[in-house]
């Protein structure tokens, strides 16, 4: 029988798992390393003595000595069986979290097997703080109850309620007799494209035009050819928005044959100011629309502003983002399975679940015995670790990797960001200054230090989104040292379950979106990330005051880390908590902030007054 190292138990031991049994059924424990070995040797010795006694006597001569030995053997075997029973129970608890983990331990699970591997080098930037954090996270196992780790200010947050679904621009569907057609081709990944879709809804209404179902551009970075209907329910989208904007799936035949660029109907991002005011679209696009009957926005990345948009049009953004865009059934079902395995329960429970999964929530995906029998719901924290190579390269920051890191990132820029690479040849950039300004993405190590300072215990289960970490295992290991229970979608879902989404990065990103939105706590590491922005907004809008988000101020955090040499853990902890608490304050959307992240704004959410009145 072939065996291999398996999952560690909660006390740090390791189980040997029968590979043959694993292929056809649940894991089978055949032994435990590091514990119980002495008992096994005692049993073997006593059995040997029994065999010797039989050989010498020529038969079975049962004496009191033999009975005592037999009693000892039975006792030892009974203890081993009891231990095995307890181990299997513990292993069951682990299995419902890790779901159908593949034989090769994909994702982050492979990094947890270092007890059977030669330890690789770690990329550490804050050794002193990391050592203090390792001690603190162990102490947090019993000392975390005094800090509101899993909550947000509910009394203040519950005063804001979603209200974008209640109102439309007109009582009847808009007329097809309008100024023409608005077509967008959105660039970027899943979340950039989502923002572009909802901005396009607003622009179409502003221009009194029909919106053609948005197209998604294929890029060398995202490498995904998925279109709107592959990711979202397009019929639901069209029907939900029909009283606000007339939407069609294609241009009429007489416009499909036109070269839109040649007739001057194409507008690129270079021709529209970033976060432009509505008046700019009226001035730039409306004349083209009235002349040619169609205008094509190419790229359309963050082209519409926020503060200058009237409340009735702002409402359209919220209706689109928080209500009309529903993931395709295939994504909803797989996302439902992912969340159920993370929580360890077979039933969906929250308003967020209803919004994310609708009628495609799975009932009992865990076989004959639902995971409700596994001890009830379990909390998990979702961490959006925005430390992929494209993000790291674009930031122009340095992360302790020396000359090799600089060459590698510059090569990536030459391929994927040629304009940025060309600019670097003629300008000098100070990585230290960028870091002091809070413009560098947090490393896994720095994210772990924040969680440790907030009081999260070592055993906290953490779902990691954006798991293609630049630097791989060496970069991620300081975080796993603090929090070993890290998982990704690749750990929770099997290869077969993920197969339909393979090679479709946007559809896979939708699973991360779902897991983060549904989490008990969502931890952000990059304020500029669209996923962080959209998930944070969904948690505010649909969370009903019970969906906290941890959002560090990177500039303030950089200042704290710069004083590492002279700071003690208590001081570090106090300053980090104050930094995070500042963001958790419940307030209306500040000027200049995106409604996708902060929907507490007129047209999107309503605030109940002390007298029962409602402000819009």
pLDDT value, residue 448: 96
Q: Which of 68-77, 122-131, 233-242 has the lowest mean pLDDT?
A: 68-77
Look up residue 610 and give its two tokens. Answer: 């002390």
Residues in Cβ contact with 149 at an 8 Å cutoff, skipping those fewer than 6 apart:
454, 455, 456, 521
Task: Assign 3-state DSSP to the chain and report helix, strand, coil percentages, each to 5.
Answer: 50, 10, 40
Over residues 192-224, the pLDDT tens digits come to 999 999 999 999 999 999 999 999 998 766 778
Look up residue 20 and give its two tokens. Answer: 């043959």
- Judged on CB neighbours under 10 Å (0-12, 13-18, 19+), 568 is exposed
Residue 499's CB: how many other CB atoms inside 10 A? 10
pLDDT value, residue 444: 95
Tokens 């393979």 locate to 502
The whole-number average pLDDT for the span 443-459 is 94
β-strand pairing of 14-18 with 29-33: antiparallel
Q: How far apart are CA 536 and CA 539, in angstroms?
A: 5
Look up residue 153 and give its two tokens. Answer: 């200010």
CA 343 to chain centre: 15
Residue 22: pLDDT band (50, 70, 90) is very low
Q: What are phi and psi of 524, to 5 degrees?
A: -100, 140
Question: Which sign, positive or negative, has the C-alpha torsion 553, 555, 556, 559?
Answer: positive
Q: Which residues pair with 181 in a beta bridge?
A: 210, 294
Residues in Cβ contact with 432 at an 8 Å cutoff, skipping those fewer than 6 apart:
none
Q: What does each C-alpha distance from 609 to 137, 156, 267, 595 come to in angstroms?
A: 41, 11, 44, 22
More confident residue, 140 or 192: 192
Over residues 247-271, the pLDDT tens digits come to 999 999 999 999 999 999 999 999 9
Q: Which of 212-226, 281-295, 531-545 has the lowest mean pLDDT?
A: 212-226
More confident residue, 6 or 430: 430
Q: Which of 66-70, 321-325, 477-481 has the lowest mean pLDDT?
A: 66-70
pLDDT value, residue 75: 72
pLDDT value, residue 61: 52
pLDDT value, residue 455: 92
Over residues 377-423, the pLDDT tens digits come to 578 999 998 898 988 999 999 999 999 999 999 999 999 899 999 99
Q: How far apart are CA 113 and CA 469, in angstroms?
A: 18
DSSP H or E run through 4: strand 3-8
Instruction: Report the share of the chain in percent with pLDDT over 70.
Output: 74
The whole-number average pLDDT for the span 298-319 is 92
Over residues 321-360, the pLDDT tens digits come to 999 999 999 999 999 999 999 988 766 668 899 999 998 9
Reply yes or no on whether the pLDDT at 598 is more than 60: yes
Q: How far apart are CA 57 and CA 55, in angstroms?
A: 6
Residues in Cβ contact with 463 at an 8 Å cutoff, skipping those fewer than 6 apart:
342, 380, 381, 382, 383, 487, 488, 492, 515, 516, 519
Q: Which of 113-122, 223-232, 297-306, 429-438 has the lowest mean pLDDT?
A: 113-122
Q: Which residues pair with 17 in a beta bridge?
A: 4, 29
Q: How far apart are CA 245 and CA 247, in angstroms?
A: 6
Reply yes or no on whether the pLDDT at 317 is more than 90: yes
β-strand pairing of 521-524 with 549-550: parallel
pLDDT value, residue 169: 54
pTM (2 decimals)? 0.78
Q: Which of 149-163, 259-273, 478-492, 519-533 has the lowest mean pLDDT?
A: 149-163
The candidate with the shortest Cα–Cα distance to 523, out of 541, 548, 486, 555, is 548
Residues in Cβ contact with 257 at an 8 Å cutoff, skipping those fewer than 6 apart:
none
Across the chain, what does the average pLDDT equal? 80
Residue 593: pLDDT band (50, 70, 90) is confident
Question: Which sign, positive or negative, has the C-alpha torsion 251, 252, 257, 261?
Answer: negative
Look up residue 424 and give its two tokens. Answer: 């670097």
pLDDT value, residue 147: 46
Look up residue 109 and give its two tokens. Answer: 């699970």
Over residues 142-172, the pLDDT tens digits come to 544 444 677 777 778 888 999 999 765 555 6
The candidate with the shortest Cα–Cα distance to 517, out of 469, 549, 483, 491, is 549
Q: Which of 86-95, 399-408, 447-456, 533-542 has the lowest mean pLDDT?
A: 86-95
What ranges do the domains of the chain cover? 122-151+329-364+376-387+441-585, 181-324, 392-431
Residue 35: pLDDT band (50, 70, 90) is very low
- Judged on CB neighbours under 10 Å (0-12, 13-18, 19+), 567 is middle
Residues in Cβ contact with 357 at an 8 Å cutoff, skipping those fewer than 6 apart:
332, 333, 335, 336, 348
pLDDT value, residue 609: 61
Question: Which sign, positive or negative, has the C-alpha torsion 515, 517, 522, 528?
Answer: positive
Residues in Cβ contact with 458 at an 8 Å cutoff, skipping those fewer than 6 apart:
137, 138, 140, 141, 482, 483, 484
pLDDT value, residue 123: 83
288 within 8 A of 189, measured Cβ to Cβ:
no
pLDDT value, residue 560: 96
Over residues 41-64, the pLDDT tens digits come to 333 333 343 334 434 444 445 566
Reply yes or no on whether the pLDDT at 70 is more than 90: no
Look up residue 364 and give its two tokens. Answer: 């009992």
The whole-number average pLDDT for the span 308-327 is 95
């Amino acid at each position: 029988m072939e065996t291999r190292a398996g999952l560690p138990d909660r006390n740090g031991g390791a189980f040997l798992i029968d590979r043959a049994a694993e292929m056809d059924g649940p894991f089978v424990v055949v032994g435990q390393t590091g514990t119980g070995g002495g008992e096994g040797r005692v049993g073997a010795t006593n059995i040997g003595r029994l065999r010797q006694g039989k050989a010498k006597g020529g038969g079975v001569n049962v004496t009191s000595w033999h009975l005592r030995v037999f009693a000892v053997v039975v006792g030892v075997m009974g203890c081993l069986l009891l231990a095995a029973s307890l181990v299997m129970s513990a292993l069951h608890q682990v299995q419902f979290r890790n779901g159908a983990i593949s034989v090769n331990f994909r994702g982050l699970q492979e990094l947890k097997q270092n007890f059977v591997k030669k330890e690789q080098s770690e990329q550490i930037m804050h050794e002193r703080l990391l050592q203090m954090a390792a001690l603190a996270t162990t102490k947090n196992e019993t000392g975390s109850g005094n800090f509101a780790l899993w909550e947000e200010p509910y009394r203040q947050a519950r005063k804001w309620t979603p209200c974008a679904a209640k109102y439309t621009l007109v009582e009847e569907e808009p007329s097809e007799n309008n100024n023409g057609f608005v077509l967008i081709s959105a660039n970027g990944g899943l979340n950039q494209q989502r923002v572009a879709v909802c901005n396009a809804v607003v622009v179409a209404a502003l221009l009194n035009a029909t919106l053609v179902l948005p197209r998604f551009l294929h890029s060398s970075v995202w490498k995904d050819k998925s279109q709107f209907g592959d990711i979202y329910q397009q019929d639901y989208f069209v029907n939900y928005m029909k009283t606000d904007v007339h939407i069609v799936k294609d241009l009429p035949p007489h416009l499909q044959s036109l070269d839109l660029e040649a007739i001057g109907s194409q507008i690129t991002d270079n021709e529209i100011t970033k976060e432009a005011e509505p008046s700019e679209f009226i001035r730039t696009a409306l004349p083209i629309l009235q002349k040619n009957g169609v205008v094509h926005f190419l790229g359309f990345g963050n082209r519409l502003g926020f503060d200058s948009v009237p409340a009735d049009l702002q409402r359209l953004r919220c209706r689109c983002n928080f209500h009309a865009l529903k993931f395709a059934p295939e994504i909803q079902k797989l996302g439902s399975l992912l969340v159920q395995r993370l929580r360890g329960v077979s039933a969906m429970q929250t308003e967020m679940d209803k919004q994310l999964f609708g009628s495609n929530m799975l009932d009992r995906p865990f076989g004959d015995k639902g995971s409700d029998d596994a001890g009830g719901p379990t909390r998990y924290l979702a961490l959006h670790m925005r430390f992929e190579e494209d993000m790291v390269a674009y930031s122009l920051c340095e992360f302790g990797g020396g000359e090799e890191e600089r060459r590698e990132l510059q090569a990536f820029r030459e391929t994927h960001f040629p304009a940025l690479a060309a600019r670097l040849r003629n300008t000098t950039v100070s990585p230290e200054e960028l870091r002091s300004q809070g413009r560098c993405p947090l490393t896994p190590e720095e994210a772990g230090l924040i969680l440790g300072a907030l009081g999260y215990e070592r055993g906290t289960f953490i779902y990691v989104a954006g798991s293609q970490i630049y630097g791989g295992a060496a970069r991620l290991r300081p975080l796993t040292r603090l929090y070993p229970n890290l998982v990704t979608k690749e750990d929770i879902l099997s290869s077969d379950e993920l197969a339909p989404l393979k090679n479709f990065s946007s559809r896979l990103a939708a699973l991360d979106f779902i897991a983060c939105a549904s989490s008990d706590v969502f931890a952000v590491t990059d304020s500029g990330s669209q996923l962080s922005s959209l998930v944070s907004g969904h948690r505010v809008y649909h969370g009903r005051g019970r969906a906290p988000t941890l959002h560090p101020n990177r500039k303030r955090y950089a200042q704290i880390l710069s004083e590492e040499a002279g700071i003690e853990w208590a001081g570090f902890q106090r300053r980090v908590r104050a930094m995070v608490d500042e963001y958790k304050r419940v307030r209306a959307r500040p000027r200049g902030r995106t409604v996708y992240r902060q929907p507490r704004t007129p047209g999107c959410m309503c605030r109940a007054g002390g007298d029962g009145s409602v402000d819009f």
